[in-house]
């Protein structure tokens, strides 16, 4: 784990337990640590690595969602020792095993440190504290005065891959983050997201839960952004 005024660099072998207790800067650092602290149980957090959590890319995996909301850059080295970068969106668009050429090794991730008046939130809906998530949401917002200058909303666990909600993000930027605005953004997020049927919960129920969790995540992120000065 290496930090600077502009970036947070995380090696692929960083344990989730260490990430949960790391003192990382800004809203991005808070989101990464908060996400790590809620993953599974302590024994599993001691064993799971950040790179493994991303490369396995289970539908309920948490860090792919958080990294997607933070516009992370992914660092890879090929067997011929040629290093290259790609975005987290490119890595998880299908599956990392298909996104990376054979003979590649994941090295780590770089996340930009968010500036002042920025807040984030991460929410997961599950039936028990260590259960697989049925809905996950990562929200990041930045304020310029009373208006939103940046918004990122990533959603996971409702389909095979985490996704961003571009229409919800567009609706938020330039707006004051009133309850009405956040409800509208939640509705657009639902429209942007394809919920795959799951034997554990009916799609219409997960749809309602997704709308509530998106609104709550945006409310919490906005509150933290207002408090950050």
For residue 186, the SS3 value is helix
Q: Is residue 174 predicted with pLDDT exceeding 70?
A: yes
β-sheet with 83-87: strand ranges across: 2-3, 7-11, 104-112, 73-78, 83-87
| Structure confidence at residue 130 (pLDDT) | 82
State CA 36 to chain mean position distance: 11
Q: Which of 1-5, 79-83, 122-126 has the lowest mean pLDDT?
A: 79-83
3-state secondary structure (DSSP) of residue 221:
helix
List, for residues 18-71, the tens digit of each pLDDT value. 999 999 999 999 999 999 999 989 999 999 999 999 999 999 999 999 999 999
pLDDT on residue 17: 97
Mean pLDDT over residues 81-93, rounded? 93
CA gyration radius for the chain?
Answer: 17
- The mean pLDDT of 15-20, rounded to a whole number, is 97
Q: How confident is the model at residue 80 (pLDDT cuts 50, 70, 90)?
A: confident
Report the run of H or E that residue 133 belongs to, with start and end.
Answer: none
pLDDT at 229 over 80: no
Percent of all residues in the chain with a pLDDT value above 90, rounded to a whole number: 86
In this model, does residue 81 exceed pLDDT 80? no
Mean pLDDT of the chain, nearest integer: 94
pLDDT tens column, 123-172 = 999 988 888 999 999 999 999 999 999 999 999 999 999 999 999 999 99
Residues of the chain above pLDDT 70, percent: 100
Give the integer Cα–Cα distance in Å for 164 and 152. Answer: 7
């Amino acid at each position: 784990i290496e930090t600077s005024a502009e970036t947070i660099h995380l090696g692929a072998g960083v344990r989730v337990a260490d990430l949960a207790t790391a003192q990382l800067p800004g809203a991005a650092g808070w989101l990464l640590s908060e996400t790590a602290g809620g993953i599974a149980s302590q024994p599993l957090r001691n064993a799971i690595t950040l790179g493994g959590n991303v490369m396995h890319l289970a539908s309920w995996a948490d860090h792919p969602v958080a990294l997607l909301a933070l516009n992370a850059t992914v660092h890879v080295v090929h067997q011929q020792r040629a290093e290259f970068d790609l975005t987290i969106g490119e890595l998880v668009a299908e599956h990392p095993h298909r996104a990376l050429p054979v003979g590649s090794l994941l090295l780590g991730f770089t996340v930009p440190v968010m500036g002042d008046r920025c807040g984030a939130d991460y929410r997961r809906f599950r039936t028990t504290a260590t259960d697989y998530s049925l809905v996950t949401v990562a929200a990041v917002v930045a304020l310029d005065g009373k208006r939103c200058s940046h918004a990122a909303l990533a959603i996971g666990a409702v389909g095979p891959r985490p996704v961003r909600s571009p229409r919800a993000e567009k609706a938020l930027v330039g707006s004051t983050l009133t309850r009405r605005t956040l409800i509208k953004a939640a509705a657009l997020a639902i429209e942007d997201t394809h919920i795959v049927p799951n034997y554990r919960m009916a799609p219409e129920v997960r749809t309602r839960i997704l709308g509530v969790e998106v609104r709550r995540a945006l409310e919490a992120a906005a509150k933290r952004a207002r408090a950050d000065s």
